[in-house]
Chains A and B, each alone.
Chain A
Amino acid sequence: MSALRAAAAGTVGAGRVAAGPPPSDDPRSALLTTQLKKVRYRADALIEVLHAVQDIYGFLSPAVLETVADALELPPSRVLGVATFYHLFTFEARGDHTCTVCTGTACFVKGADALLASVSDNFDVPKGGTRDDRSLSLLEARCIGSCGLAPAALVDGAMVAKATPDRLVEVIRSAMAAAPAADAGEPESAAGGVA
């Protein structure tokens, strides 16, 4: 364990302990270091740091979690415990495109189940999962807070308001036909892309 942590520390923690550039030339680890500096390596900023990791890498990998544990001087169990507790953190890479169907109460009443079933059937993608060829992920959101426009879904971050199964499938099809989404990693930051 300590060897692994030491190795992981080489990418980020070293930036703090010893001067000089981190040995890794992965630009993402520099981004993470910036974030860690921003929160001044405070242990209570763990959730913010995990958000940053997910923004940067798209998902949380064991190696990066080790790095975070080391940088914040927290036991790895604590980092993994927090990461697994919250729903928004994911441990596997998402597909090139994401469709997030809101399953809040208003959307439920107005037919979110039909949207999910239709996307799942049409694209052969499991609910909450990713297609085998990693071209599409189908996610459920608790509530995206657009209840006046129910049922709602997000395709690569763009809102499909008052959606019907057919229209949603069509929107996904044209998104997949176009160039790969720039950032399909995190639907929540994508939700903000609406504004």
Chain B
Amino acid sequence: MNGNNDVDLFDIAHKEREEQAAFRRTVLCCGSTACLSGGAQAAIDAIQTAVSEKGLAQEARVVATGCMGLCSRGPLVKVRTRGEADVLYADVDAEIATRIAEEHLGAGKPIEEAQLSLEHPFFARQIRVVLENMGEIDPNRIEDYIAHGGYRALRDAVTTMTPAGVVGVIQRSGLRGRGGGGYPAGMKWSLLAKAPSDQKSIIANGDEGDPGAYMDRTVMEDDPHRVLEGMAIAAFATGAVKGYIYVRAEYPVAVRRLEQAIRQAKRNKLLGKNLFGGEFSFDVEIRIGAGAFVCGEETALMASIMGKRGTPVLRPPYPTERGLWGHPSMINNVETLANVPTILRRGPDWFADIGTETSRGTKVFALAGKLENTGLIEVPMGITLREIVEEIGGGVPGGKTFKAAQTGGPSGGCIPVKHIDTPVDYDSLMALGSIMGSGGLIVMDEDVSMPEVARFFMRFCMDESCGKCLPCRAGTYEMHELLEALLAGRGTAATLTRLETLCDVVRTNSLCGLGQTAPNPVLSTLHYFRSEYDSLLVPEGAHLAGLPGAHGMAASAAERSA
């Protein structure tokens, strides 16, 4: 110990590892939100009860961990025995849980029929960087995080590197923003580092608004210290003194886990004043959203943190010039920050070796929709959509066929089957009219109507438009009306033309990303599935049939006000 404020990570890690090593077996039970809602608590309780009743408490340690990924087969339980291969159990109800304790832990005989092979492509095809601790550590205990190498990257950065050196590592790694846009993280960091101010702040964007995405939620809930460590490293590198985590109010577990993690980090002097006995001080505060998709936009998010309506303002000035309360600020997505500790620990070259030339590293996806295996996956950039859908996802169930994959949520698009061999990286998806987005990947089969998908997202954008600029406020409403008309059999060729024109108007004239990208789901489904729109069209005049005395503008006005 070299000072009052120093923390001996080695001591904590060593003690924790010794304690864990005293047990011959570890039973890792997925205690993530998804598995808990599938009955994981009953399974965990059953195992714990059986373990203590059978007198196995000295031998087997039962841990409620974070998400193991394969949510559709949860609750999941993994039994790890010293000197043996891990055994994974799926669909664990209380009965199987009791049997695991009695037969596997007690009698040493794994239950064959309840097992799922860890060689299963769902697991075998993944590379875990951001999710490396998921299913391995207890998210409620900082000691477990430290025993798995946590906070080492922060200590090494603060005690052995210069801020510019840390920025350089992030730049060399090629890490790009994981929130959707893909802006180079190192460049953003260097902008903040150059900003002259002693009131700079780092904001972790955990306002995961895309419907169909829960990567950030899982990281915040199941490995909260990773987010804090990433933020602290970013703060050291850029000279920031204050951090904010902006979390959706829909994620109360994430809020509780982060609050707890902040308390633990402060108690262990990993957050606060004069960290590691040096000059660097950093504090983190949580801010909770209240249900507004637009708050994923940087300037709207900052308005919300300051307790205001979340309406965006024109950039420049960018947040790195003028951010929270006028001071330079930097907003990084939660997943971006969660990559940082690992990049520092394993080196930028290791990270840059994963992925493609322009998209380095991995991406976490929430795999959902019409697939055999759904859940949370982390794959190297550049993997093909086919590998994700057919190998990891196990293909479309029920003898149905794959029709399209939707990425990027309301700002993204649908990728049709003819492009299923496209590598999944920022630029390839952009070229297909979609975006990487924050990581929702929803598979649709032949039963899903593409105009209905377009209407679904347009309704979302219409509801979520903040109302500040006209193209977005009125345009999304009007586009939704036109889609409604088409789907109700009231649309003519002119309706479709009008829709396409509006797409262009809204895309090019809206103030922020919400409006600029709102037409994407329409444009991409029109591009790849135009025949579905064409089949909805009725001849000119026929759409007015049955409306007594109605014609032209009066009719459509009446429809609209109805």
Mark A residues whose CB is within 8 Å of B: 42-48, 50-51, 78, 81-82, 85-89, 103-106, 108-110, 141-150, 152, 159, 161, 188-189, 191-192, 194-195
Contact = CB atoms under 8 A, between A and B. Distances in A.
A81 B33 contact: no
Contacts of B217: 145
Given A142-B211, A195-B36, A86 B368 contact: no
B38 A143 contact: no
B34 A105 contact: no
B375 interface: yes
Contact of B307 (A47, A147, A152, A192): A47
A43 to B, nearest CB: 6
Given A145-B217, A147-B368, A194-B33, A88 B290 contact: yes
Contacts of B74: 148
B387 interface: no
Contacts of B37: 146, 149, 152, 159, 161, 194
B308 A82 contact: yes
Which 7 interchain pairs have the tightest Cβ spacing? A148-B71, A192-B252, A86-B290, A104-B211, A105-B212, A159-B37, A87-B291
B480 to A, nearest CB: 15
A51 B367 CA distance: 31
B208 interface: yes
Contact of B369 (A82, A110, A142): A110
Interface string B471-485: 000000000000000
Contacts of B375: 148
Given A87-B290, A142-B250, A148-B375, A105 B211 contact: yes
Give the contact-size bracket for chain B: 35 or more
Contacts of B307: 42-47, 82
A75 B317 CA distance: 28
A109 B34 contact: no
Contact of B34 (A50, A149, A192): A149
A148 B213 CA distance: 10
Interface stretch (B440-448, B522-530, B548-556): B440-448
A195 B253 contact: yes
Nearest to A152: B37
Contacts of B376: 148
A81 B33 CA distance: 33
Contact of B440 (A47, A105, A149, A159): A105
A109 B442 contact: yes
A105 B288 contact: no
A100 to B, nearest CB: 10
Contacts of A44: 305-307
Interface in B244-269: 249-253, 256
A59 B456 CA distance: 28
Main secondary structure of the interface of B (DSSP, over half): mixed
A53 to B, nearest CB: 12
Contacts, number: 151
A166 to B, nearest CB: 19
A142 B289 contact: no
Choose among A48, A108, A141, A194 the residue with the greatest number of B CB atoms under 10 Å from its CB. A108
Contacts of B463: 87
B440 A147 contact: yes
B26 interface: no
Contact of B211 (A46, A110, A143, A188): A143
B211 A89 contact: no
Contacts of A149: 34, 37-38, 71-72
29 contacts: A44-B307, A46-B307, A47-B290, A50-B290, A82-B308, A82-B309, A86-B310, A89-B290, A104-B211, A105-B210, A105-B406, A106-B212, A106-B368, A106-B374, A141-B250, A143-B210, A145-B33, A145-B208, A146-B34, A147-B212, A147-B366, A147-B440, A148-B71, A150-B369, A161-B37, A188-B249, A188-B250, A191-B252, A194-B33
Given A105-B211, A109-B448, A195-B253, 16 more contacts: A85-B310, A86-B291, A87-B292, A104-B211, A106-B368, A145-B208, A145-B250, A147-B214, A147-B366, A148-B34, A148-B366, A149-B38, A150-B369, A188-B252, A191-B250, A191-B252
B250 A47 contact: no
A103 B71 CA distance: 19
Contacts of A195: 33, 36, 253
A51 B304 CA distance: 13
Interface string B27-40: 00000011011100
Contacts of B426: none
Contacts of B289: 47, 86
Nearest to A195: B253
B490 interface: no
B552 to A, nearest CB: 33
Choose among A145, A150, A152, A192 the residue with the greatest number of B CB atoms under 10 Å from its CB. A145
Contacts of B211: 103-106, 108, 142-143
Contacts of B367: 148
Contacts of B291: 86-89, 142, 188
A193 B326 CA distance: 38
B432 to A, nearest CB: 18
Nearest to B212: A105
Contacts of A192: 252-253, 256
B375 to A, nearest CB: 5
B376 to A, nearest CB: 7
A106 B305 CA distance: 29
Nearest to B256: A192
B442 A105 contact: yes
B409 interface: yes
A152 B292 CA distance: 21
B213 A143 contact: yes
A118 to B, nearest CB: 18
A103 B459 CA distance: 11
Interface in B400-425: 406, 409
A192 B251 CA distance: 7
A71 to B, nearest CB: 13
A191 B254 CA distance: 11
A159 B32 CA distance: 13
A83 to B, nearest CB: 9
B25 interface: no
Nearest to A88: B291
A148 B370 CA distance: 10
A109 B250 contact: no
Nearest to A83: B290
B184 interface: no
Interface in B475-525: none
Nearest to A146: B34
Contact of B250 (A103, A144, A148): A144
Nearest to B70: A148
